[in-house]
Structure 1
Amino acid sequence: MVSNSKAGYYVRICNDNWKRTANLRKAMLDLPFNAELAEGTLGRDRFQFYLAQDARYLIGFGRALSVAAAKAPDPSALAFFAGAAREAVLVERALHESYFERFGLGEADLAAIETSPTCLGYTSYLLAVAQTEGYAELIAALLPCFWIYHDVGTAILERQRRTGASDNPYQAWIDTYADDDFAASVRTCIAEVDKAAELADEHTVARMSAAFTRACEYEWMFWDSAYRMESWPTTHLRG
């Protein structure tokens, strides 16, 4: 715990980490997946691959959120992370399923899309943090999925407003993450991470920053791997 003389010293950890990852976040907006999604020109096969990976990621993300709820130090944090877990598993998956239905994809089609190395790596990382680290490190690792998705969705929506673009087949996805309700969840998660950092020692704060950065890197990798429709390089060596 920090002493009273240091109270508030770490309260800006989220802003600090957001600034520190500026180059990484800009690179995400410039990735072909997000650039083409913004223009509505992203190939359906790539978006389908992304949705299949994201649906599987959300199960792991939801489990990690549930652990955060269990570790939460007060009822308000417990309610937020428990609610976020429910949103991830039910609400966001409903968005995926609406696209699956539109694309005519059934269970057999989705099962044929193997979980990518990056998707498995990201979910495994979050679940490892959930099991081996404290509450503060865990919620710092979970924050980028909230914050970066809102940042990307908002940036795309602003670009559309400037250019007057319309009839984007991926508009429902864009609107979901640029939504005011989602923005409110982002602000709540930021506040919880700042609150946890304010009460933490310097070693824990450093670990929180490292977890935040690593999750940001996985966010970049997730979209990049979706565009490449990443497969396992060892597939041909399987028996």
Structure 2
Amino acid sequence: MSTLPPPAEGGFCARAWARTERLQRAVVQHPFNAALADGSLPRERFAFYIVQDARYLVGFAQALSAAASRADDAADAAFLAGAAQGALLEERQLHAGYVHEFGLTEAEIEGVETSPTCLGYTSYLRACALGEPYPVLLAALLPCFWVYQHVGSTILESTGDDPEHPYSTWIRTYADEEFADSVRAARELTDRAAAASTPEVRERMLAAFTTATEYEWMFWDSAWRREPWPTAEWR
């Protein structure tokens, strides 16, 4: 299991996690993640989640690429560009494996509408990429790294590494050391950007981190409900 130390005391990430502590608990305790942890999550709900997540990753990668283009430090730009590539390649390979396991056809996948929450989250990240300062964009991107690592490692700690678990591949992906290293790098980058910013920008960063974390909860909730468009009947 990954070992991720707490964020540096007094830094932005420590403040952001403290501000969203109740929300982080709600994410882990959400019925979707509770059912995923004990293996009882219905496959149709997980399949809905996988389809939505694959679409989300496109917008996430675009926002990461925008951040990479605005980074002054070459190492930071390389990390962000690499994370964008990982979002489109490595994580989508995980999705492809589950789609194959569930026997979903391309027609079935295309027939699943992008949910309101998925569209809202990706639109929010794209808006940050277009209209917010670089540090605020980093803060909006951070929850997708950090919250997933927190959920994956928390589930693995409670269940153990059981290869027979129906969602063991997903759990191990977000609970392993390699992903924890990415989270550490993302936190350190965001802390440095915050330290070099003004108090006003740091407050905007906290707001962006909180909003993106709320979207993380909403994303799992939308998968649990297999969220439809409430206006679909009037089209």
Alignment TM-score > 0.5, same fold: yes
- 1:224 partnered with 2:221: yes
Please, what TM-score do these two structures have when normalized by structure 2?
0.95
Aligned to 1:6: none
Identity of aligned residues (%): 54
C-alpha distance in 1 between matches for 2:162 and 2:140: 34
Q: CA deviation at 1:149?
A: 0.1
- Given that residues 135 and 190 in structure 2 are in contact (C-alpha distance below 8 angstroms), is that contact kept between their aligned partners in structure 1? yes
Aligned to 1:159: 158
Aligned to 1:187: 184
Please, what TM-score do these two structures have when normalized by structure 1?
0.93
C-alpha distance in 2 between matches for 1:191 and 1:227: 33
What stretches of structure 1 of length at least 5 have no aligned partner?
1-9
- Given that residues 126 and 142 in structure 1 are in contact (C-alpha distance below 8 angstroms), is that contact kept between their aligned partners in structure 2? yes
Q: CA deviation at 1:73?
A: 1.4
Q: CA deviation at 1:134?
A: 1.3
Q: Computing the radius of gyration over CA atoms, which structure comes out larger, 1 or 2? A: 1
Q: Write out aligned runs for 1:94-173 (5 A).
A: 94-161=93-160, 167-173=164-170
Q: Write out aligned runs for 1:14-25 (5 A).
A: 14-25=13-24
Instruction: Name the SS for the 2:89 alignment partner.
Output: helix
C-alpha distance in 1 between matches for 2:143 and 2:127: 16
Instruction: Name the SS for the 2:164 alignment partner.
Output: coil
Q: CA deviation at 1:155?
A: 0.2
C-alpha distance in 2 between matches for 1:19 and 1:91: 31
C-alpha distance in 2 between matches for 1:185 and 1:165: 24
CA deviation digits over 1:142-171, x for unaligned, max 9? 00000000000000000013xx86621110
Q: Structure 1 residues 226 and 197 mapped into 2: Cα distance closer, same or farther (>3 Å)?
A: same
CA deviation digits over 1:204-232, x for unaligned, max 9? 10100100000000000000010000000
CA deviation digits over 1:106-154, x for unaligned, max 9? 2111001100000000000000000001110001000000000000000
- Given that residues 162 and 168 in structure 2 are in contact (C-alpha distance below 8 angstroms), is that contact kept between their aligned partners in structure 1? no
What stretches of structure 2 of length at least 5 have no aligned partner?
1-8
User: What is the CA RMSD across the aligned residues, in angstroms?
Assistant: 1.2
- Given that residues 30 and 221 in structure 2 are in contact (C-alpha distance below 8 angstroms), is that contact kept between their aligned partners in structure 1? yes
C-alpha distance in 1 between matches for 2:42 and 2:165: 12
C-alpha distance in 2 between matches for 1:144 and 1:123: 13
Q: Write out aligned runs for 1:28-47 (5 A).
A: 28-47=27-46
- Given that residues 140 and 208 in structure 1 are in contact (C-alpha distance below 8 angstroms), is that contact kept between their aligned partners in structure 2? yes
C-alpha distance in 1 between matches for 2:112 and 2:39: 23
